[in-house]
């Protein structure tokens, strides 16, 4: 597993530990951790708006959702800040500017440098392999 996947699994571990180990419960725990991760990456001034949009998706009434925020979301946001402090300092990301095709400079011409300049493609390779240059050092 790569370093990023390991970090995400470590982040999700408290939610994973609360499951019964079934595939369905593990997937649910990972989905909740992904939700919390995304919320942590959202600027603080937009987090309440993000949460409000998610409440109907979770199909929770106001009391259930407040308990969910208090017992799951808030601890996971704190965990994210503790585990990944540099990520939280980056600030909002600005979208990349799409460059029109006519503004993209053409690539620099590639100049092939022959290892043995002046050797013909079908000549024996000067390296002494006994192969034609094109099949040996001329590739």
List the domain boundaries for the chain: 3-89
| Contact call for residues 12 and 30 (beta carbons, < 8 A) | yes
Comparing CA positions, the residue from 60, 89, 73, 93 lying closest to residue 32 is 73
**Residue 11 token pair:** 């982040």
Question: Residue 90 — very low, low, confident or very high, per pLDDT cuts 50/70/90?
Answer: low
Lowest mean pLDDT among 48-52, 64-68, 76-80, 113-117: 113-117
Q: What is the C-alpha to C-alpha distance for residues 100 and 106, in angstroms, rounded to an integer?
A: 13
> What does the pLDDT look like over 27-63, one tens digit per residue?
999 999 999 998 988 888 888 888 888 888 888 899 9
Q: What is the C-alpha to C-alpha distance for residues 20 and 98, in angstroms, rounded to an integer?
A: 47
């Amino acid at each position: 597993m790569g370093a990023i996947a390991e970090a995400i699994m470590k982040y999700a571990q408290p939610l994973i530990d609360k499951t019964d180990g079934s595939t369905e419960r593990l997937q649910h725990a990972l989905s909740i951790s992904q939700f919390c991760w995304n919320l942590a990456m959202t600027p603080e001034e937009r987090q309440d708006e993000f949460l409000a949009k998610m409440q109907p998706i979770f199909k929770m009434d106001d009391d259930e959702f407040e308990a969910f925020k208090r017992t799951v979301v808030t601890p996971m946001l704190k965990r994210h800040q503790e585990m990944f402090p540099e990520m939280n300092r980056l600030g909002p990301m600005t979208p990349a500017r799409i460059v029109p095709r006519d503004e993209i400079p053409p690539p620099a011409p590639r100049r092939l440098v022959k290892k043995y300049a002046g050797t013909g493609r079908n000549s024996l390779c000067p390296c002494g392999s006994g192969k034609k240059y094109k099949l040996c050092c001329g590739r």
